[in-house]
């Protein structure tokens, strides 16, 4: 129960934060609405819709951390086709109306419940420590949390016992208050049954097709590696061993060099086979985990690399996600070493809820793009195969930032 109370306090404070954002958005709506009365506020309405969507998405993300995920009903950004077209599209969109309704409900309810949830533990601490400082207070402030005057030491000590009442209220009512605060978001911020999800389905279909293409490309890469490398080495071993056998029959002194060449070819073939295996799934992931594997990549990078890995032990990462994260960082560090001319590179990996976030930033020349043969398109295919996202920021003269998000929900 104590743990539930702390979790409820965290949720209430988070709801208070989104309620403050909602209050700001509501005030902006009031100002823009007043401006619309004199005809100058209409072009600002699309910006207000964007602000409302951002605040609602913050609440969706908050609710998703504490229960069933709240999926955004918006398949894409607001259309950039003039404010009249944007307003017509928003007027037909039920999700926009539901966001606005939630906004004006969450302002009072989120603020009141959030402030109340935050004040209860503060009152408990205040009354528990009251005997320590009550003599220092002005006479008018010598009261318990319930407003009862205190003028004696026995009353001050009794006030410390009142803190137990506050704690009981926190434990019993905190989770209920958190659920009540989240109720409008749970009811209004989810996709309406009438929302057309065809575009979202098309995007998922495209993602799955991309995953199949990435899988086929990986199979072709493995086949080429085996055919052009290990297979040729094995053929050479067979030829050299046959030559050694013939040499043993004719001139045994010539058999030794042939066997040495066969052994060398076999060792090279074994090395290439190990390279193919590492390309499929690096053994270091199994041996040292994602954190250790990334540390090995950072230490082996030609450019000084600062690696920061957040706490991953509490999260159960699917092996495919770990492999994708490893190859993403490996490819990004290879690009930095070969193309960027950077002096330093920073890699940050951390869990945020059920999402693994990776950021690789270097101070190189910038100007990177996916069509320059740098392997970024391959990274995107791997990432999107997991319904993840990749964002590349690389202005001329740098810096270059690659941000990847990989959902870890199986």
**SS3 per residue for the chain:** CHHHHHHHHHHHHHHHHHHHHHHHHHHHHHHHHHHHHCCCCHHHHHHHHHHHHHHHHHHHHHHHHCCCCCCCCCCCCCCCCCHHHHHHHHHHCHHHHHHHHHHHHHHHHHHHHHHHHHHHHHHHHHHHCHHHHHHHCCHHHCECCCCCECCCHHHHHHHHHHHHHHHHHHHHHHHHHHHHHHHHHHHHCCCCCCCCCHHHHHHHHHHHHHHHHHHHHHHHHHHHHHHHHHHHHHHHHHHHHHHHHHHHHHCHHHHHHHHHHHHHHHHHHHHHHHHHHHHHCCHHHHHHHHHHHHHHHHHHCCCCEEEEECCCCCCCCCHHHHHHHHHHHHHHHHHHHHHHCCCCEEEEEEEECCEEEEEEEECCCCCCCHHHCCCHHHHHHHHHCCCCEEEEECCCCCCEEEEEEEECCC
- pTM score: 0.48
Distance from C-alpha of 347 to C-alpha of 325, rounded to nearest angstrom: 11
What is the C-alpha separation between 345 and 364, in angstroms, rounded?
A: 9
Q: How far apart are CA 372 and CA 314, in angstroms?
A: 38
Task: Give me the residues paired with residue 402 across strands.
Answer: 360, 392
Separation CA 115–CA 168 (nearest Å): 18
d(CA 67, CA 228): 51
Q: How far apart are CA 261 and CA 240, in angstroms?
A: 7
Task: Compute the distance between CA of residue 211 and CA of residue 217 in angstroms, rounded to an integer.
Answer: 10
Per-residue model confidence (pLDDT) at position 77? 47
Contact criterion met (CB below 8 Å) for 380 and 390: yes
How far apart, in Å, are the Cα atoms of 187 and each of 65, 97, 99, 114, 346? 16, 13, 11, 19, 41
**Cα 136 from Cα 223, distance rounded (Å):** 81
Q: Write out the two tokens for 365.
A: 């020349």
d(CA 87, CA 78): 10
> Degrees (nearest 5) of the Cα angle 120, 124, 128?
170
- In tens digits, the chain (410 residues) has pLDDT values of 677 777 888 888 889 999 999 999 999 988 988 888 887 777 788 888 888 888 998 898 888 887 777 777 765 444 455 556 666 766 777 778 888 899 999 999 999 999 988 888 888 888 788 777 767 777 666 676 666 777 677 777 777 777 788 788 888 888 888 899 999 988 888 876 555 555 556 666 666 666 566 666 666 666 676 666 667 777 777 777 777 777 777 777 777 777 777 777 777 777 766 666 555 556 666 677 788 888 888 888 888 888 888 877 544 677 778 888 888 888 888 888 887 788 888 999 888 777 888 899 888 888 777 765 557 777 887 787 777 888 888 888 878 888 888 887 65
CB distance 393 to 365 below 8 Å:
no
Q: φ, ψ for residue 345 (rounded to 5)?
A: -140, 140
Q: Is the peptide bond before 194 cis (omega within 30 degrees of 0)?
A: no
């Amino acid at each position: 129960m104590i743990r539930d109370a702390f979790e409820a306090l965290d949720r209430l404070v988070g709801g208070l934060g989104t309620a403050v954002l909602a209050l700001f958005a509501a005030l902006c709506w009031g100002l823009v609405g007043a401006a619309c009365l004199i005809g100058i506020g209409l072009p600002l309405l699309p910006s207000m819709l964007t602000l409302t969507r951002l605040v609602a998405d913050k609440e969706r993300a908050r609710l998703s951390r504490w229960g069933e995920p709240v999926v955004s009903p918006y398949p894409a950004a607001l259309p950039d086709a003039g404010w009249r077209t944007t307003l017509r599209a928003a007027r037909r969109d039920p999700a926009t109306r539901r966001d606005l309704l939630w906004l004006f409900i969450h302002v009072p309810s989120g603020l009141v419940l959030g402030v109340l949830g935050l004040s209860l533990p503060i009152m408990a601490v205040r009354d528990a420590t009251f005997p320590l400082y009550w003599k220092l207070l002005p006479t008018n402030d010598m009261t318990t949390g319930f407003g009862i005057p205190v003028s004696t030491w026995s009353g001050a000590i009794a006030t410390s016992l009142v803190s137990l009442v506050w704690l009981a209220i926190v434990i019993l009512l905190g989770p209920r208050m958190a659920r009540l605060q989240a109720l409008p978001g749970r009811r209004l911020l989810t996709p309406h049954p009438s929302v057309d999800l065809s575009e979202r389905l098309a995007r998922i279909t495209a993602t799955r097709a991309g995953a199949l293409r990435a899988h086929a490309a990986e199979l072709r890469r493995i086949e080429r590696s085996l055919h052009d490398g290990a297979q040729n080495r094995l053929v050479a071993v067979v030829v050299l061993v046959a030559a050694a056998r013939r040499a043993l029959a004719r001139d045994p002194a010539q058999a030794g060099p042939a066997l040495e060449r066969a052994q060398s070819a076999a060792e090279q073939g074994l090395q290439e086979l190990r390279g193919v295996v590492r390309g499929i799934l690096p053994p270091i992931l199994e041996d040292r985990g994602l954190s250790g594997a990334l540390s090995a990549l950072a230490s082996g990078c030609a450019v000084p690399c600062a690696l920061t890995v957040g706490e991953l032990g509490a999260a159960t990462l699917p092996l495919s996600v770990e492999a994708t994260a490893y190859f993403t960082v490996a490819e990004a560090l290879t690009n930095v070493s070969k193309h960027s001319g950077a002096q330093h590179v920073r890699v940050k990996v951390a869990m945020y809820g059920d999402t693994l976030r990776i950021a690789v930033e270097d101070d190189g020349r910038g100007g990177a793009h996916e069509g320059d043969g740098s392997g970024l398109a391959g990274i995107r295919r791997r990432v999107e195969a997991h319904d993840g996202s990749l964002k590349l920021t690389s202005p001329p003269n740098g810096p270059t930032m690659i941000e990847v998000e990989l959902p870890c929900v199986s």
